[in-house]
Chain A
Amino acid sequence: MNATLDPAIRLRDVHLLFGRTLALDLEHLEMRAGERVFVLGHSGSGKTTLSRLIKGRLKPSTGTVRVFGNDPTAKDSRRETQRRIAMIDQEYFLVPRLDVVDNVLHGCLGRVSPWRSYLGWYPGEEWEKAESILEEVELGGLGYRRVETLSGGQRQRTAIARALMQDADIIVADEPVSALDPELAEDALELLVECVARRGITLIVNLHQPELARRFATRFVGLANGRLVYDGSPDGFTKQHAELVYRAQPKGEMRDEQPETGTPPTASGSDLRLVGD
């Protein structure tokens, strides 16, 4: 993979409809390998939809999503593609009743032999890797605790560890710190960014708070009502941009008219009729 030439992620003319609601409308969006892109926007602005498209959990209604040149929803290469794109969900979705280290080891399921793993056998090097990652995310010594006995911050770090275990090229984190209080949230983000930077992984984080994002991002993407309203450096993200992102109309009554917030810089505007029909 040539990081400097090919974008890691490329979205072209992507429209995604949920029923009659246009959830996402992106003409063009690319992310390069090694970038740390923070996606800002209201709940319902399309952040989660965008991350699910990249992860391949959703198919666009029209347009194309390519991750390393491949369709992330393609069935034939599913296992490899899924392994290369790790996702940290807002609710973490750790497997209850299992120990921390078991949950972390799930990260290697995409590369170990299925038959061996049915019996609960993981290769020795995967165990070593899991243990070193647990140390890295400051969960050393907690490996044999059941996940439901952990605090919120510890669960969050378990989810990070599982994602790191995947040896992914991209980590998509959807509101990864929204369940934590502000201080813990900042620590958790810092940890995530450090681990990712050490490995040169591309990071995409959905976040509500631009001030928090500023500390860690190499690039901001602002979404409002499913449209791109900002795409650029964190330094260039001004108060006006913040207003554009955060004063967007609530979902449901959007679409048919242009919002009064002005013409979004890169929104396509060509397919407004999609919803009205």
Chain B
Amino acid sequence: MAISGLLFWALRWSEFDLGVLVSSGPRFSEFFARLVPPDWSVTTLVLKSAIETLMIALAGTALAVVFSLPVGFLAASNVSPPWIAQPMKLLLGLIRSVPLIVVAMLFVSAVGLGPFPGMLAIAFHSIGMLGKFYAEEFETADPGILEAVSGTGATKGQTLRYGLLPQSIPQVVAFTVYRLEMNFRDAAVLGLVGAGGIGYYIQLYVRGFQYERVAVLLTVIVVMVVALDNMTFWIRKWVR
């Protein structure tokens, strides 16, 4: 009851109007009609910027992993004392709650236009999620195994390296490649704020009503997302 009330209110707030949706049908079909034939002359340009987007996502994710692993250890309650783990979790929550586009705009104004601020924004935003996921994964580690490894006289670091990481690696890899997929899609819109990649052309072609070129953009993005999706599937399968 309360939920349906809330949903109703949400629809009202979003100015949901079925009439408008139906009456704008012709405009949608016009849009789709103008996608063909695609203007393949821009393929090289689009491909180059799409690869830049992919590189932003890859580098950003890698940078995020470098920071998220230690942060994950600090935020895991079975590794760190509560007075470190709790504030760490809070900090990660704060990082996650800043929208990516805001982060990107801040980095653009700090380091200038181009892919570099985009990569930094992706990395910063990803730490919030990866750090949390890693910490939660570390917390599921079997305490008996940690005790057994530490009981050999291993230092704390050795216990994490040999007792904890082997247990957590498959999930850590799965989260990371999943985040990479998300980062590629996120990075595609970063160009809107001048942070490099394919987003610049999305803005250019859509705002300029060059739908034949938008068709090329969409084709390239879809192909790359599907390819990435397949690649990450095999990576997850490989690391078990």
Binding site for A on B (CB under 8 A): 142, 144-145, 147-155, 157-158, 161-163, 166-167, 169-170, 240
Contacts and interface: CB of A to CB of B under 8 A. Distances in A.
21 contacts: A78-B153, A80-B153, A81-B153, A82-B150, A82-B151, A82-B153, A86-B151, A87-B148, A93-B145, A93-B147, A95-B162, A95-B166, A95-B167, A96-B167, A97-B169, A106-B163, A109-B155, A109-B158, A114-B157, A117-B158, A162-B148
Given A109-B158, A114-B157, A117-B158, A166 B163 contact: no
Contacts of A94: 145, 148
Interface of A: 55, 57, 78-87, 89, 91-98, 102, 106-111, 114, 117-118, 162, 165-166
A87 B153 CA distance: 11
Contacts of A80: 153
A107 B144 contact: no
Contact of A86 (B152, B157, B163, B167): B152
Contacts of A57: 147, 151
B214 to A, nearest CB: 46
A161 B148 CA distance: 13
A194 B145 CA distance: 26
Contact of B155 (A81, A97, A114): A114
Contacts of A81: 153
A114 B158 contact: yes
Given A114-B155, A117-B158, A118-B158, A97 B149 contact: no
B18 to A, nearest CB: 54
Interchain residue pairs A-B with the least CB separation, the first 4: A110-B153, A83-B153, A93-B148, A109-B154
B152 A162 contact: yes
Contact of B152 (A89, A97, A98, A107): A107
Contact of B142 (A93, A102, A106): A93
Given A82-B153, A110-B152, A111-B153, A97 B167 contact: yes
